[in-house]
Amino acid sequence: MNQRGSGILLHITTLFSDYGIGDIGPSAFEFVDFLSDAQQSYWQILPLNPTSPEFDNSPYHSTSAFAFNTLLISPDCMAGDGFLKKTDIAAIPQFPIGRVDFNGVIQFKEKIFSLAYGRFLREKTGLSEYKEFCRNNLRWLEDFALFTSLHRHYKGISWSSWPDEIKYRKPAALDAMRHSLKKMIEKEKFLQYVFYKQWQALRRYAKEKGIRLIGDIPIYVNYHSADVWTHPELFRLDNNLLPLVVAGVPPDYFSKTGQLWKNPLYCWEEHERENFSWWIDRVEHNLSLFDYTRIDHFRGLVAYWEVAATEKNAIKGRWVAAPGEKLLTVMKNRFDNLPIIAEDLGIITPDVSDLIDRFDLPGMRVLLFAFTGDPVKSPHAPHNLKQNCILYTGTHDNATIRGWLELDATPEDKQRLFNYMGREIPAEQLPAEFIRLAMMSVADTVIFPMQDIFGLGNKSRMNRPGTDAGNWQWQMEKGMVGHSVTQNLADMTRFFNRARKINYG
């Protein structure tokens, strides 16, 4: 990413779809066409791991660090591959416009997934390809499918409350459950295969169009996940396999009491003893799906905020050192050019910056942050940027640019902004001004949330950190990406020498 380029941040769920949620079918291919026509180089996507209503369907709270979110499977592509008939998806529920109804989507897709799996069992379509997928992903697939089936069998309760012989993974008990839940387990594996098959088709198309995909690795995993249940020795748990300490961040821009994420923290000593094999598998898996991957909360690889599991917020915690340099050294020896982006936002100390520089990783800058404090010394201000960074107008955790000026910006924020820009700017014009400001910067790569391309307000915001309801729901409406949007973005991209220079095809 050491040449001028630009791209769009847009999660799969937000693509337009007749089926209530964006998926990796026709609309995803159309979005690749838009990126190509608009001279973009990158499509950045949020984590593709399974989500659940218990965690507000957040892509950062998953039951697996390896498995795929099957809600993103395209019914149209399933029909095209012979797993469904057109009549199976003819009666579509009336989903909301512009908002994902996750509960409705789950009910609808469970129904068609059962039909697809039944046809797969009868007709054996793609059987050899399915078996190859299972062999290639054996290291995580079997445990995930068993975990998910047990989760349903035990009515969604945490694995820490499962019977002891299952909780502690006694081989005889697990074998018995594999036998009794065989059909459910095989269905889960089938759906994972279908997602992977569809995703690889999309990735090939993006490659042909010269679009590089950027993925996202949340630094931590959920306690209620196949990863923690399968590998408890890799996490800080007590004798009852409950978390001793949990992850979070101290009070910051987003919250006066900090953010208590409640994820179990790693037992880094055990990871070191295993030469970070779990992490290597995780990164390798992501790089089989993407060209680059972002590590969310990268500073947690240098030092992390440790909070006792009994605390109600993240105020009372402490910084604890992590072996980030050792981990990155192992990664660098394993992966060519270390295609990793460091999410280095928040409380960043010199040791974090030094590690990023030592491994020549691009960090993140957010233009919006330049005006929530003094822009003179802000690392996010255009005049203070370095080339090897990725500059965003905003991220999935921020207000949209228009929404920020309309609702969130203080009078002082606005005055700093207008002084910097040399004039007062109406809220509806600010997104375009921010995009232009980012485009003309020295940053090698600039990324824009699609909401800022459209100039939308805060109703289209994806996430509000520190809240656990009402997030991740915004969805594009049909026809939003018109010719003028494409042409304006293409013209600006060419003008600032960011037009796509590499074509994989």
3-state secondary structure 401-440: HHHHHHHHCCHHHHHHHHHHHCCCCCCCCHHHHHHHHHHC
Helical (H) or strand (E) element with 167 = helix 164-167
Give the Å distances, CA to CA, from 452 to 385, 427, 447. 21, 12, 10
Q: Which of 365, 247, 374 is nearest to 306 (CA)?
A: 247
Active-site pick, 56, 188, 216, 397: 397
How would DSSP label each residue in 323-358? -HHHHHHHHHHHSTT--EEE---SS--HHHHHHHHH
The yes-or-no answer on residue 397 being catalytic is: yes
Helical (H) or strand (E) element with 203 = helix 182-208
The yes-or-no answer on residue 343 being catalytic is: yes
Helical (H) or strand (E) element with 447 = strand 445-449
Neighbours of 488 (CB within 10 A): 14
Cβ neighbors of 128 (< 8 A, separation 6 or more) are none
CA 400, distance to chain mean position in Å, is 18
Cβ neighbors of 494 (< 8 A, separation 6 or more) are 39
Q: Is 316 helix (H, G, I), strand (E, B) or coil?
A: coil
The dihedrals phi and psi of 189, each to the nearest 5 degrees, come to -65, -40
DSSP state of 99: B
In terms of Cβ atoms closer than 10 Å to its own Cβ (0-12, 13-18, 19+), residue 310 is exposed
Active-site pick, 143, 291, 296, 452: 296
Active-site pick, 343, 344, 444, 452: 343
Cβ neighbors of 398 (< 8 A, separation 6 or more) are 366, 368, 404, 461
Q: Which of 406, 405, 365, 372 is nearest to 388 (CA)?
A: 365
The dihedrals phi and psi of 207, each to the nearest 5 degrees, come to -65, -40
Give the Å distances, CA to CA, from 20 to 73, 80, 82, 380, 474. 12, 19, 22, 37, 11
Torsion, Cα 102 262 156 143, to 10 degrees, reads 100
Dist CA 84 CA 66 (whole Å): 26
Dist CA 54 CA 62 (whole Å): 10
Whether 44 contacts 343, CB under 8 Å: no
Tell the residue number behind the tokens 């989760």, with chain if given.
151
Dist CA 406 CA 384 (whole Å): 26
Residues involved in catalysis: 296, 343, 397
